[in-house]
Structures are given as structure tokens and as C-alpha cells.
Amino acid sequence: MKNNQNRLLSNGLFYIVVFLLLLWGINWALGGSNNGGGSENISYSQFVKDLRQGKVKNFSVQPANGVYTVTGSYKNAQTTKNQSNNSFDFFSNNSSRKVSNFSTTMLQNDSTVSNVQNLAQKSNARMTTQGESQSGNWISTIVMLVPTVLFIVMLWMMMNQSGAGRGGSGGIMNFGRSHVKPEDPSKNKVRFSDVAGEEEEKQELVEVLEFLKDPSKYTKLGARIPSGVLLEGPPGTGKTLLARAVAGEANVPFYSISGSDFVEMFVGVGASRVRDLFNNAKKNAPSIIFIDEIDAIGRRRGNGTGGGNDEREQTLNQLLVEMDGFEGDEGVIVIAATNRSDVLDPALLRPGRFDRKVLVGRPDVRGREAILKVHAKNKPLAPDVDLKEIARQTPGFVGADLANVLNEAALVAARRNGTEITASDIDEAEDRVIAGPAKKDRLIAEPERRRVAFHEAGHSICGLVLSDSRTVRKVTIVPRGRAGGYNIMLPKDDQFILTKKQLFEQIVGLMGGRAGEEATIGDKSTGASNDFEQATAIAHSMVVNYGMTDSLGMVELEKEGETNPYGFKPYSEATSAKIDEAVKKILDEAHAKALEIVKENKEKHRIIAEALLKYETLDEKQIMSLYKTGKMPEKYESEYPSESKASTYEEAKAAAEKREVEKAEKKDSDQALADQEKDALETPSEKNHEVEEHNAENPEKNQNTDSTKTDSPAEDDEHKDN
């Protein structure tokens, strides 16, 4: 009911109707009395005519607004039509009626007055005069001003209602306010114990919280509270999660806002919202402000086309002043998160504004294991699941990726009606996250299938021969996503620094697919396009970022991860030609090396390809066995049921229905067994008592028993609803 009332009040049509009703009421109160009660507004000529005919009984003359107002009464009631001259009288009709009073106006000149006096004497009509009235001016003024004031009030109420729908107490006139309220601690259940794999990062934030709780511990040593903490790192590493944990652990007001919330179409709104946000935080100090994606307003100044009056730059300037201005904001700590710290303004990064810069990077193998343990708390895992092995198989995965892997594994297990998440489910989930779901029902021609097998076997051979840095984890020819097959080659250990040899071996492994096709089939195909894309990116980085070529030397020609705007290149055309030549040279050398490896291991390449055609998917142990012995392991079982047996929706639905039937049958059998055990344990006296209760001679007991049985399900339902 309350929602319906709010919806009615926020409707603009409602205010329009209210305005028209009020306008009509004012018109009726001020001017309707002249037309009601048997009164008629007539013309001066009609008044003179009635006066000559002796219809007028008496009348009075009163000057007002430069004319004479004449009001009087007839000797006998006159029949007239109800025609209103008032433009606001929407509810008047044209029916005939009897009137006994009249009103009119006449000019203020002597001839007119004398003429009326003479006619009044001849017709024996009593004429009276009155002094000038000031009420007419007030009435006309009110009639003009009241509708205008009402319209302004209604318009203001409509704007206020429309602005309140944006999540704040303010309306359209309060767009400069931030509308950010301190977060309710009871709604946030995230704590530092829920953040795994980021122990150093948590320690930096724990010190900030301890400073807020017990500042004397630090102030007696001359330390001051940090003004800001900048969390930077790749997407999905847990920057926002850390901030939520800070909000959960802190017993101080916590203001959370996004960088894009400061951006508005009105000029100066961003700066105004920054001021309002910090003012609210100062009033409740000590407090914490969290700005997510601060790069939306904190980009380097001078790069835009708007000049010094750019709205974004005004917002940034106000943020700089608030964080470390003339007054200083003791007790207000700003925590910001971004994955583009390289584009932030240098003034924003200096000490005094962001005193601490915490890099929330990709977790190592121990961090990934800890993250997996956190996300696996509420998931039933089978005994064959080894989280440490999963962490070892997922280098480069961030926290969001690992959470997605376990979630996909749970979905895969539910699809096969499993009660636990097995190792094969997690393996399938990893493939889903990397390449997408398997397309087992796709019809593939045998020549194309054979080409894909030799292509993937070429990748595997190159990875097995050049195994110093990378290990072949899995290879399959089952289509996934846009790929007809894929090969997973992961580093043996976490690598934070890559050498020239390791990068070159990665390119050779990528070129192994095309080399495998050329060495066996002889023709080239489009299946290696993604391999060339990755290989070109690595070779280009080796040339322009890492200085690993002799022709160009140790020069950083481009910043890693950045693209030049408007196609601008910070080097000459001659240098660009040298870059293209150096990249092509690296790719050609890698392709020649891959072709050499495939030709030298032609027989092993054929064995792996034929095994792929037979089994479709091979894991690390099977590939190593084929590479060393040429045979599959003795104990081989299909460890990828989701790839080998892709059930349709109908099959999955039938399996689910069968499962429900089995559950019902099991429940019935368990209930029957329990009843038998109960009967066996009952004594003869208890049985006789039960027979008496169900006997027809005891209707009261039967009635009570039936009512109890009838009421119990209702009670259960009520408990369920609650």
C-alpha cells in the first residue's frame, strides 16, 4: 500500500490535477459568488434598457479601478441563460434560470452619471452611491498571483520527487551532494579471514585499522596517520574484497563510492560531490573513504581536449585539495582501488595523499591454494581432489578465476547428478574457464579431424622437447569455443621474470601446430591463426619492451600494456621498419626450429596424433608415456566423462527424474523398515492401548486424533513459510 502511495505522489499527472482543482476552487470562491445566488452580470446597455422599462428596483454605484461598478436588484425575477464570461469557469452550463440581482460597469463621466440618475427618477428606482473600494485591487492581485505561486510549488514538488528516486534525500536542486551514507556494519560479513593469499597486503591495512582504534600507540613515536592507501593490481586480484574486509573489521564509519559517481552532465558537480563527501567524513571522523576505480577521475591532467576547465580535471583538483590541502584532514583515510595506476596523475600519487601503494598482484602457488581453500568451504569435495595440485595447475590465475573454477566444477557435478565434486569435474571446469564448453555434438569431417590431431600433436612434441620452462599438461581435439582443439602448456613453477630463451621457446611451441601440419599433411590451414596472434604479441614485446634484439638494442620503444592514442608512434618510420623486420626474424627462426623438432621426432609425433584420434583427450602422464614408450599407460580409464559423454538436455532431465523416483522409493522403504522395528519393540499393553484409541467406540479420541493429524501439516507449512 505504501509503495502505491509513493508511486501516486511521484506521478506528474497527479500534481496537474491537484493544480487545476485548486485553481477552480479559488475562482469559485473569488468570482463564483458573483454568479451564484440568482445574480447576473449584464452589459451597460442592457442596464439602461432595463432601467427605462422600470424593471430595476434599486441599485448602487461604487467607483473602482477607473470605472463605476453598479450592483442592484430587479423588481421581478428575470429569466436568463447561464453564460459565464469567466475563462476559468469550466463547470458552468448554459441552462436557463431565474435571477433577481445584477451587476455591471459604466464609465466615470458626468454625462453617463446624469443619464442614469434621470432614468432612475423616471422609473422610481432607488439609487445609492458608495465610496471607492480598495478590495478590488487586492482581489485582482490575488487572482493573478495565487495560480502562479501554486504552479511554482507544484513544479518544485515534482522535481523533488524525481530527484529522490536517485537514491538520496535530495532532489534536482541537490545534485551536488554525494548521497553516500556510512555502510551498515551488520550487512557486511566479510572479514580478513575471508581474504586469502594476500598476507602482506592485509598487514598494510591492519596497521591502518589499528591506528584508527589506538592512535596513541603510534603518535607517541611521532607517527601520523596515513592519508591514503592505493590498492593497485590486475582485475580480479581482490582489491575490492580487501576494502570490504576493511569495512567489516573497522569500527568507524565507512563511505564507499565509485569514481564514476563523481561524473555528471552538469559542470562543477564532481567537485561539489567531493567536497560534500569529505565534509560528511570529517563530521564523523575518524572515518574511511573507499573510492573504487579512481582512474575515472584521477587521470593525468593535460591529456584531455577540454583544457584547464575540463570537468574531470576540476574534480581531480578538488580531490587533491581535500586529501592534503591547507587545512589537512586528520582522521579521514582514503582507500582507492585501480588497475591502471600508470595513468594516474603524479600529484595524486605523492606522499601526503597516497602514502602507501599496495600492489595486489597475482597469487603464487601457496596463495592460490589458500584461495581455493576459502572458496571450497561450502563445497563437498571428493577424496581424489587435491587443492595443492589444482593450485599448481593454474599459474597466472587470480582469485576471481579460481572462484569461477570451483563454481563451474559445482555446476558440472550437479549436471551429472553427483553429490560430490570430483577431480574430473574440476578439470572440466578449468577447460571451461580457459576455452569454453566442449562441443561434442559438432560434426567434423575425418580429414579435418586428422589435421587437428596432427596440429595439436605438433604443439605437444615441441613442448616435450623444449621442456625446460614449460610442461604439456593436457591436449585434446574436442572443440571448445572457437578452437577446434587446444594444448595446455603451463610453466613448471611460478615465473615472475622471463628470459629470452623462455620467451623464444614459447613462440616455438606456438609454431609447432603449423609445423606439424606442414611435416605430415603438407598443406597450410587457418587453424593456426590464434597461434600466430599470440606468437606475434610475444615477439613484439621482446623487441619494443624488453630490448632483446641486437638490431634495435636495449631500448624501450613502447610502454607495456599501453596503446598509443590516434595511432601516434614515439619513433620514426625507419625504426618502425626495423621493428617489423626484427619481429619477423624471431617468428621465422621459431618456425624453422619447430619444423626441425617435428621432423626429428616424426614417429613420436605420429603416435601422439593417432592416440588423439582414438582417445580425443590426453593428460600429462599419458603424453609422457607415449613420448617415452610409444604406448598408453597400462591402467587407463576415461578421466574426462564430460568430454567423452556429452548428455543432452533431455537425457539430463530423465536422469534427474529417475533420481527423484529412487529417492522416493528409498524413503518409503526406510519408513517401512522403521515401522517394522517399532512394532517389534512395542509391548502387548501398548498395542492394546493403540487399538482402543482407534476403536469406533471411542469417537472423542478418534476425533481428537484426526484433528491432530489434520492440523500438523498446516503447522509444518507455517513453519516452512516463516
The alpha carbon of 114 is separated from its chain's Cα centroid by a whole number of angstroms, namely: 84
CA 420-421-422 angle, to 5 degrees, is: 110
276's grid cell:
560534500
What are the Cα distances from residue 684, in Å, to 466, 548, 679, 695, 705? 83, 95, 10, 16, 21
Phi first, then psi, for residue 335 (nearest 5°) are: -110, 125
Contact call for residues 145 and 73 (beta carbons, < 8 A): no
Cβ count near 178 (within 10 Å): 21
Beta bridge mates, 229: 335, 356
Residues 6+ apart with CB under 8 A from 162: 10, 171, 172
| Amino acid sitting at position 375 | H
Contact call for residues 116 and 110 (beta carbons, < 8 A): no
Active-site choice (456, 505, 517, 643): 456
What is the rounded distance in angstroms from the CA atom of residue 363 to the CA atom of residue 395?
A: 9
Phi first, then psi, for residue 361 (nearest 5°) are: -90, -175
Closest to 202 measured CA to CA, from 384, 358, 23, 410: 358
3-state SS string over 142-186?
HHHHHHHHHHHHHHHHHHHHHHHCCCCCCCHHHCCCCCCCCCCHH
What is the rounded distance in angstroms from the CA atom of residue 701 to the CA atom of residue 694?
A: 8
The secondary element (H helix, E strand) that includes residue 81 is strand 67-81
Burial of 64 (0-12, 13-18, 19+ CB in 10 A): middle
Cβ count near 532 (within 10 Å): 15
For residue 565, cis peptide bond before it (omega within 30 degrees of 0): no
In angstroms, the first-to-last Cα distance of the chain is 22
Phi first, then psi, for residue 500 (nearest 5°) are: -65, -40
What is the rounded distance in angstroms from the CA atom of residue 421 to the CA atom of residue 379?
A: 8
Q: Coil, helix or strand for 645?
A: coil
| Amino acid sitting at position 396 | G
Q: DSSP alpha helices (H): ranges in 422-549?
A: 423-435, 446-465, 500-520, 529-544
280's grid cell:
560528511
600 is catalytic: no
Active site residues: 456
